[in-house]
Amino acid sequence: MGVYTFICKGSGADWSAKQLNGDLEASAGSTFDLQRKLVQVALSADSSGAVQSSFSYVTPSSAVFQVIVGGSVGGGSFVGGGASSSPAASGGGGAAAEAPPAEEKKEEKEESDEDMGFSLFD
């Protein structure tokens, strides 16, 4: 599984991106085309399975784009920084974390008007 994080910068109508930790890069005329090119660049470096991607603007002229190649798709959750909160998803091989037991709700007994010694219609 490969995680590729790119810093994207826009200048006018042109966008360029450089990998945060590496030497992959691309440029295009729009953010849409840039994302497509970056996915292809990441796949050329690691073509081991399914692809997930995430594009987030930081300012109107800068963004972060992350491509995840490999791993499971659909059942996991994205956690910032490319980390995973589940040991099974990160290759730990452990059993999935069990849900915490539900708290027992104590039912409150409603007091009737007779219990208080007065009635609403008196």
User: Of all residues in the chain, what percent carry a pLDDT higher than 70?
Assistant: 60
| pLDDT at position 12 over 80 | yes
Residue 33 has pLDDT above 90, yes or no: yes
Q: Identify the band that residue 44 occupies on the pLDDT scale cut at 50, 70 and 90.
A: confident
Q: Phi then psi for 92, rounded to 5 degrees? A: -70, -25
Q: Which of 92, 68, 91, 70 lies closest to 80, judged by CA?
A: 68
**Residue 101: exposure state from Cβ atoms within 10 A (0-12, 13-18, ≥19):** exposed
Express each pLDDT in 63-103 by its tens digit. 999 999 887 655 544 444 544 444 444 444 444 445 555 55
Judge contact between 1 and 67, C-beta under 8 A: no
